[in-house]
A = this chain, B = another copy of it.
Amino acid sequence: MSTAYTPRPEDKFSFGLWTVGNRGRDPFGEAVREPLPPVDAVGLLAEVGAWGVNLHDNDLVPIDATPADRDRIVREFKAACERHGIVVPMATVSLFFDPVFRDGAFTANDPGVRSYALQKTMRAMDLGAELGAKIFVLWGGREGVETDACRRPDEAVKRLREAVNFLCEYSIDRKYGFRFALEAKPNEPRGDIYMATTGAYLGFIATLDHPDMVGVNPEVAHEQMAGLNFVHAVAQAWEAGKLFHIDLNDQVSGRYDQDFRFGSANIKTAFFLVKFLEDVGYDGPRHFDAHAYRTEDYAGVRDFARGCMRTYLILREKARQWNADSEIQAVLSETRDAPKFAPYSAKRRDELLQQPFDRASMARKGLAYERLDQLTIDLLLGVR
């Protein structure tokens, strides 16, 4: 077994500017780390071995920047990326930080806010395209409510659809070639956020004008906040051809958004996730949307970033070991046969209706899943 878990460009590990640049501000406390200029963040990411950097428009360009400032900032950032061999696979837009979005962006009751949100997103798409990004993430962090008295929720869905449809047209119009990845979250910073789960977005996408251009960006923490099985959500998205991006981090269920280092809270879930992504051949970015504990200085931020990638690589090796383990595969092989019902026909129907079944005997057979799971635990703990 290799002990070198060193990230390489082909692993496609990326971090948002806002992740290594997170300053540790929280609802009960002040920032604990000095600002990290974007150009320095790129350097840090190169140093720890990342492949890509992602950004919200305002992670790089202040919301009040003049056009000249904007252009200078972008130029210097591109130069830094080139110098360090870092790519920009994904871009997104902040529709949540500025007070103007306190009632939502695309779904806000104030039509002026909705228009502004659209304008801001178009400009963020311009920026992302200029930096070479091919994926554009939309996270509607403020699209929600504290009280459902303020808006009918079906109206919110309609407003959201109108905005996404418009942005698809804009991408086509400008020939940006973006694939949009919609990111769900159940709550925080709003009491409830519309489109609470990855599944909700999969349902929504089917109602769009250009469903082919739009997929999802599931985030570990966001499904796990609601106690949902993240691997199942990712699998459904993948199977539907909609896994356009993924946000890796970790989270204890039923809590505030923790954005912990990947694999640091739920080892087993992280394992099945990595195994799934590798088994199906997902070849998009492995994006870490997490941040260092508030106890850390920038040395700790580097430890954090290295740890995300290292744990991914350890688990990837374990996934290969699991697939090659003959005892594990033996348990599974007994249960894998998969006859097909389709296509439906009168003959198939009648065969099925008349087929005799020995229910009791089928129910008696032990499935050895306790053994299978313990073998998995042994493997995870490195004693197998």
Contact = CB atoms under 8 A, between A and B. Distances in A.
Contacts of A113: 362
A294 interface: yes
A202 interface: yes
B189 A28 contact: yes
Contacts of A152: 235, 276, 279
A197 interface: yes
Interface string A367-380: 11111111111101
A363 B166 contact: no
A79 interface: no
Q: Please give me the 10 A-B residue pairs with the lowest Cβ-Cβ distance, nearest first.
A: A382-B382, A202-B203, A199-B200, A297-B366, A109-B335, A206-B206, A199-B199, A153-B235, A169-B344, A254-B254
B367 A207 contact: no
A150 B233 CA distance: 17
Interface residues of A, number: 168
A341 B5 contact: no
B349 A173 contact: yes
Interface in A200-234: 200-207, 225-229, 231-233
Given A227-B252, A227-B255, A341-B166, A346 B173 contact: yes
| Count of chain copies | 4
Given A27-B257, A268-B265, A381-B314, A252 B191 contact: yes
Nearest to A358: B112
A253 B335 CA distance: 30
Interface string A104-146: 0000011111111011001100000000000000000110001
A25 interface: yes
A382 to B, nearest CB: 1
Contacts of A157: 235-236, 239
Contacts of A203: 199-203, 205-206, 236, 240, 242
A98 B30 contact: yes
